[in-house]
Amino acid sequence: MIHGRRMLVHWEGKDSGIYEYDQESGRWEYLLNGGYNEAGYDAAGRVIILTQYAVLVYDRGNIPPGRITTSSATTTPVVSAPIVSDESARQFAQLVKELDADKYAQREDATKKLIAMGKPIIPLLREQVTASTNSLEVTERLTFILGKLAPPIPTAAAPRPVSLLRRMHPSLTTRPAAAGNG
């Protein structure tokens, strides 16, 4: 509950979304599909959505009907986003080439070095992992490295509408009703 409003952030594949509970209608309203990290309200009641590269701010009265899109928001770049130096970018490119080396030890060494470069290379990894020039080996290793540096939100830890409803209405249960009187 944020500023008297209930907000549900739901992660589950393509059906990810942010929902808001409308007290008057007693229904959940769909606000946004996936592609965000967190959502909530600020003190002024504006909807704030944090993505990897931007903070999206929506005035509550100006949210368009249906799904919110980034083009309908005021976008503020995140100042603390890590920046990769030119030297690191060159090193990254060389190590990506080494991921496709003939020798297994060289591929393993390149993988370890890329992991050691840390979170600043995440944007480069995301861009490179979808490159059509990659071999399957390179794509698998880049995906592995990306998972090490930016692990996805575990599905088990993601909020579920049913569990949220159970917390709001403790009388709800998943147990079947008794079959009879005896």
pTM of the model: 0.43
Q: CATH assignment of 86-149?
A: 1.25.10
Query: Which of the 8 DSSP states describes residue 81?
Result: -
Alpha carbons 54 and 73: distance in angstroms, whole number: 11
Q: Domain-by-domain residue ranges, the chain?
A: 7-78, 86-149
Share of the chain above pLDDT 90, in %: 15
Mean pLDDT over the full length of the chain: 65
Residue owning tokens 């899109």: 69
Alpha carbons 166 and 147: distance in angstroms, whole number: 32
Higher pLDDT, 161 or 24: 24
Region of poorest pLDDT, from 102-106, 109-113, 167-171: 167-171
Give the pLDDT score at 91. Answer: 93
Q: Is the pLDDT assigned to residue 10 strictly greater than 60?
A: no
| The domain over range 7-78 is classified in CATH as 2.20.25 | yes
Burial of 146 (0-12, 13-18, 19+ CB in 10 A): buried
- DSSP letter for each residue of 56-78: EEE-GGGPPSSSB-GGGSEEEE-
Give residue 152's pLDDT band: very low, low, confident or very high (50, 70, 90).
low
